[in-house]
Structure 1
Amino acid sequence: MWLPALRPRSSVAALAALCVGLPMLLPPPALAQKAPSTAGAASVRYDIGNEIFHPVLGRNGMVASEHRLATEIGVDILKRGGNAVDAAVAVGFALAVVLPNAGNVGGGGFMIVHDAKSGKDVAIDFREMAPAKAFRDMYLDEQGKVVPDRSLYTHLAVGIPGTVAGLAHALEKYGTMPLADVLAPAIRLARDGHTVTPQLAGLLEVERDHLAKWDATKAIFFKDGRPLTAGETLANPDLANSLEMIAQQGPKAFYEGPIADRIAAEMAQHGGYLTKEDLKAYKVVEREPVAGSYRGYTVKSMPPPSSGGTHIIQMLNILERWPLKDYGPDSAQAIHLMAEAMKLAYADRSEYLGDPDFTKVPVKGLTSRKYADELAARIDPEKATPAAAIKPGNPAPYESDQTTHFSVADAQGNVVSTTYTLNLNFGSGIVAAGTGILLNNEMDDFSAKPGVPNAFGLIGGDANAVQPYKRPLSSMSPTIVLKDGKPWLVTGSPGGSRIITTTMETVVDHIDFGMNPAEAAALPRVHHQWTPDELRVEKGLSPDTVRLLERMGHKVSVKATMGRTQTIQMTDEGMSGYSDPRNPDGMTIGY
């Protein structure tokens, strides 16, 4: 494989470690991040000047997702004349088959759509909702203490799924193809099966214990008493049947028909609160994206009940006053300022964010530039502020993991940014018998008790307390960046509490440091969420940089990879994109 001349970077070790993520380019008309196993194409030299990593290129359309098969399905939809929404819906259903730890029909999520014809940007909220029987203290014992795992691995952990309603809504309103057509590839994959990758096999082994609790789950993901291994075939005929019902009857099959009956029966048998009436009551909500500007670009992302968009813009507002470009990517100065902005934003998240249909969320105040001025004045450019010294601010005066992301763009200028999830890997681990559908454990994203952290270590308060039909707070942050009113960047990531910072860093990498999607994906990332008081960094950050950060007062902790971005950038030559090398199964294809 040919390597271009390399531009200096903060860590030679990181560069060497990430060279495995360099793309293999296919000849026109298709350009893919890695050659599909059936292609057998050789890599070709491509003059990329002084770029470190070369992104995938395309002129007519592009799909970036966490699985090759799902990406190929999306590109095929585009080639058949479908638009970006058609392709995104097909990818969403396909990921439910080939990426069962996060792709789903039994979970929920968010989608940002830019409609080229109208110029409109819309946020589609298909987040799960709490069942009617849910109540504030449902995860506490008689002494008022949180019962371990009750909100994670029991039938009480399951929220009302929104994915089927959300994808169907997007297709009907903004797509061009029939639901049956975009579902057909996923149905075939579920019925015929697909090969288990080493990545999926590893996740099945890690989650062996909680998947093995349920017979319907074992019937899909186990063989001879052990989880499926790499190279074996994973078929899910019950899921194929469920998807066929949805293709024929629409979302009513899931929310009012035979699938609803089976989910409700599963819940009733094991003391879960979710009922058929809850499923029928589910509603998709269209919201106005939260918007801000950063160095002349317009940033649009998901509003509450996502906390992501609000705090991405809040952090960018704070950071805009410093010349990050002059400091350089992954420099101690740039990381220090980002970490300080992160701490301030996550402190506010703990206090103010929740479902806007149940609590007033001061989005305007939190994203106000004047409020950012106030917060920035609290940052010492040379010294870290201890988390204990940071309390939620007062935006009122300015008020007037296991998730997956995919990005799609078409030749007409439509783009779709979608993040959806089951919460933790494989969600609750519970498959509703006879459906093949894994059910979420999104109820853990509520605040079980104010001040008690959830599975991601996030603190919540009254704004995110459990209530019937309320949507739990989320970090999912599907994001688009506009330049002169037209899409310029489509991005997002999984990663639990680290989604917000990963997405923010991706925007900074492109705007401040002039990186392309491949370069931005390869850069080591950092994260601070206020509490615990640690600056989490990926392996590969320069030891010199770490020492400088520690001298500033940061408690630096080197931990596992953060985020798996799926990014598409619009350029004068067409589209460029890249799937994060942290997930070897991910693939971007352009044509």
Structure 2
Amino acid sequence: MRFLPIFAALALAACSSMPMLAQEAPAPEAAARASARPQMVSAANPYAVEAGLAVLNAGGSAVDAAIAVETVLSMVEPQSSGLGGGAFLTFFDGETGEITVYDGRETAPMSAAPDRFTGPDGQPLGFLQAATSGRAVGVPGLVAMLALAHEDHGRLDWAENFTPAITLAEAGFEVSPRMQGMIAAMQLRSLPFAERPSTRAHYYLPDGSPLPVGHVLRNPEYADTLRAVAADWRNFYEGEIAEAIVAAVNADALPGGMTLEDLSGYEAIRRDAICRAYRVWRVCGAPPPASGGVTVNELLALLEPYDMSETGPDTLEGWRRFIEASRLAYADRDAYIGDPAFADIPVAGLLDAGYLAERAALIDRETAIPVALPGTPPGVDAPQPDATAEPGGTTHFVIVDQWGNVVSMTATVESVFGNQRMVGGFLLNNQLTDFSFIAHDEAGNLVPNAVAGGKRPRSSMSPTIVLDADGDFYLATGSPGGSSIIAYVAKSLVGMLDWGLTPAEAIALPNVVARGDIIRIEDSFPAELAAGLADLGFTLDANRTENSGLHAVIVQPDGSLLGGADPRREGVVGE
């Protein structure tokens, strides 16, 4: 792929040669040049990796680089994330060893009510109707979250981190095969994206055909938005940008009711990470309203009584255990996780040692658990129903800087191209469809993930950081994929921690998603193992395209870094 010079403004501070992009370890001569604290970026697009490295080489921190990476991804991978969406960022402080989670999850407008996705007939709206309507758009949290993280951990001026994306927006970038395929698919499916004036003018040729692969796409309107945000991040939430967002959300047959006050009142949140020991490591992730930190840790805890190292990825028993742990953890997640500001979330109960031992014992069998039901952890009376559809238009990246700081960040606009509305050169999210479309249980009580004004919908995002026995950074991982994120991330962790695989090897393992009683297996899953699972009583949905986007970085015994990027997408690793 031909690179355009997106970091010319940072060239004096950067290395004299182009950054090395690789899936595996650096060449010996590159390793010899590396500092005692090497740096690395693993992200879903080469342009974004190049931008992150430019900032790191200019003396920026991992958070500075995250701003550069995400503002480029917003443009070159708009189907997945961007300024109009939200994110969770898990940060490891290389000096103190502390882990902080920055919550940039979107919020519902204050006017939102539990029946937001109920039609005139009293039934839930169809997902596509809801997702492309104004009702689906949440108040974007990404910009405020990055500003909060930068306030704590930035080393460069806030504005400097926007230079790569502004330069690229003006010069243009080559449309990638994946992006082109997404644009074409929207037209083939007759979705609003292909017909709305803003998106049609930007992503299709004058004759209406999708932009071809290699087309140099410029976005001067996005450059203007970035200049405004670079001058002051609050310009995103007040003034012309905010007015354009409100107008777009409310110009719909099903208007969203978002106001300028909703935008100006948005606040990102610092949260304590959910951390739990797994064998000799400590696994840390994002807390509710993200479900990843709890559910990934519960899934691993259910595997802990079993010697997974003896049942590797080529064994039926290894995958049987992984599937059953997934089913049980997902069942609990669906029943109990929501926004802790609006519901009592039994985090301590779900990770209680006695409760986990009871759940893990269910895996000690020779055939499939007939039905995977949620348990009743300490502190709750009974599980509640859930009706949340969670498609995956999301991205993930990992950054390690020269001071040993680490960012593991997952960002999203929810569905592919989000709400399919474009303002200021970026796309808006449809994040509110991550709320349950059924708001009440049979007794009339609100379920944990019901819609409410100012509430954050439950997320599957699982930006994960693992520490070693000494409390030092060991690895970081994460993925897009809607509710499948948890299975993807857990697979990568089991692969690296239990099965001794490199990041690239763990990422390349076939994906197996066991949420509920139908097990989705990727088409690369070995046929003999699939037959064995069927013989054990599992119901398989085989030959699925489980399109994870895992990115991971691990510390090797000599202190160097080894990264991996998911071959299912267009990511690379750079250092």
TM-score by length of 1: 0.86
User: Are 1:253 and 2:235 matched, yes or no?
Assistant: yes
Aligned partners of 1:398 and 1:360: how far apart in 2?
Answer: 9
Aligned partners of 1:46 and 1:382: how far apart in 2?
Answer: 47
Aligned partners of 1:493 and 1:572: how far apart in 2?
Answer: 25
Question: Where does residue 435 of structure 2 map in the other structure?
Answer: 446
Within a 5 Å distance, the mapping from 1:97-496 to structure 2 comes to 97-148=75-126, 149-208=128-187, 209-224=191-206, 225-248=208-231, 250-270=232-252, 271-387=255-371, 390-397=372-379, 401-432=392-423, 435-450=424-439, 462-483=447-468, 484-496=470-482
Tell whether the 8 Å contact from 2:439 to 2:451 is kept in structure 1 after alignment: no
Aligned partners of 1:276 and 1:120: how far apart in 2?
Answer: 36
Aligned partners of 2:26 and 2:104: how far apart in 1?
Answer: 42
Question: Where does residue 69 of structure 1 map in the other structure?
Answer: 47
Within a 5 Å distance, the mapping from 1:4-23 to structure 2 comes to none
Question: How far 1:94 moved relative to its partner?
Answer: 1.2
* SS of 1:325 mapped into structure 2: helix
User: Are 1:539 and 2:523 matched, yes or no?
Assistant: yes
Question: How far 1:397 moved relative to its partner?
Answer: 5.0
Q: What do you get for the CA RMSD once the two structures are aligned?
A: 2.3
Aligned partners of 1:328 and 1:471: how far apart in 2?
Answer: 38
Question: How far 1:156 moved relative to its partner?
Answer: 1.3
* SS of 2:313 mapped into structure 1: coil
* SS of 2:456 mapped into structure 1: coil
Aligned partners of 1:100 and 1:543: how far apart in 2?
Answer: 35
Aligned partners of 1:289 and 1:216: how far apart in 2?
Answer: 39
Question: How far 1:28 moved relative to its partner?
Answer: 9.6
Tell whether the 8 Å contact from 1:304 to 1:353 is kept in structure 2 after alignment: yes
Tell whether the 8 Å contact from 1:342 to 1:528 is kept in structure 2 after alignment: yes
Question: Where does residue 490 of structure 2 map in the other structure?
Answer: 504
> Sequence identity, in percent?
37
* SS of 1:569 mapped into structure 2: strand
Question: How far 1:557 moved relative to its partner?
Answer: 1.9
Deviations for 1:269-297, whole angstroms, at most 9, x for unmatched residues? Answer: 33331111110110101110001111110
Aligned partners of 1:158 and 1:333: how far apart in 2?
Answer: 43
* SS of 1:231 mapped into structure 2: coil
Question: Where does residue 33 of structure 1 map in the other structure?
Answer: 22
Amino acid at match of 1:117: E
Deviations for 1:401-438, whole angstroms, at most 9, x for unmatched residues? Answer: 21000000022211000001000110010113xx1121
Tell whether the 8 Å contact from 2:23 to 2:564 is kept in structure 1 after alignment: no
CA change 1:495–1:131 in 2 (3 A) is: same
Tell whether the 8 Å contact from 1:351 to 1:461 is kept in structure 2 after alignment: no
> Mean alpha-carbon deviation: is it higher for 462-471 or for 185-194?
185-194
Question: How far 1:34 moved relative to its partner?
Answer: 6.6
Tell whether the 8 Å contact from 1:336 to 1:381 is kept in structure 2 after alignment: no
* SS of 1:392 mapped into structure 2: coil
Deviations for 1:128-168, whole angstroms, at most 9, x for unmatched residues? Answer: 00001111012112332112133201111100000111111
Question: How far 1:561 moved relative to its partner?
Answer: 2.6
Question: Where does residue 571 of structure 2 map in the other structure?
Answer: 586
Question: How far 1:45 moved relative to its partner?
Answer: 8.2
Question: Where does residue 556 of structure 1 map in the other structure?
Answer: 540
Within a 5 Å distance, the mapping from 1:82-93 to structure 2 comes to 82-93=60-71
Aligned partners of 1:436 and 1:498: how far apart in 2?
Answer: 29
Question: How far 1:450 moved relative to its partner?
Answer: 4.9
Which consecutive residues of structure 2, in runs of 5 or more, have no partner in the other structure? 1-15, 382-391
* SS of 1:166 mapped into structure 2: helix
Question: How far 1:265 moved relative to its partner?
Answer: 2.1
CA change 1:526–1:265 in 2 (3 A) is: same
**Runs in 1 of length 4+ with deviation above 3 angstroms?**
27-31, 43-47
Deviations for 1:55-83, whole angstroms, at most 9, x for unmatched residues? Answer: xx996200000000100111111111111
Question: How far 1:228 moved relative to its partner?
Answer: 1.0
* SS of 2:448 mapped into structure 1: helix
TM-score by length of 2: 0.89
CA change 1:143–1:544 in 2 (3 A) is: same
Tell whether the 8 Å contact from 1:370 to 1:398 is kept in structure 2 after alignment: no
Question: How far 1:398 moved relative to its partner?
Answer: 9.5
Deviations for 1:426-475, whole angstroms, at most 9, x for unmatched residues? Answer: 0010113xx112100001100011599xxxxxxx9710000000000000
> Mean alpha-carbon deviation: is it higher for 571-580 or for 119-128?
571-580
* SS of 1:117 mapped into structure 2: coil
CA change 1:371–1:548 in 2 (3 A) is: same
Amino acid at match of 1:60: P
Aligned partners of 1:277 and 1:44: how far apart in 2?
Answer: 50
Aligned partners of 1:379 and 1:97: how far apart in 2?
Answer: 45
CA change 1:393–1:361 in 2 (3 A) is: same
Tell whether the 8 Å contact from 1:267 to 1:275 is kept in structure 2 after alignment: no
Aligned partners of 2:308 and 2:72: how far apart in 1?
Answer: 39
Aligned partners of 1:576 and 1:268: how far apart in 2?
Answer: 47
User: Are 1:566 and 2:547 matched, yes or no?
Assistant: no
Aligned partners of 1:521 and 1:485: how far apart in 2?
Answer: 24
Question: Where does residue 503 of structure 2 map in the other structure?
Answer: 517
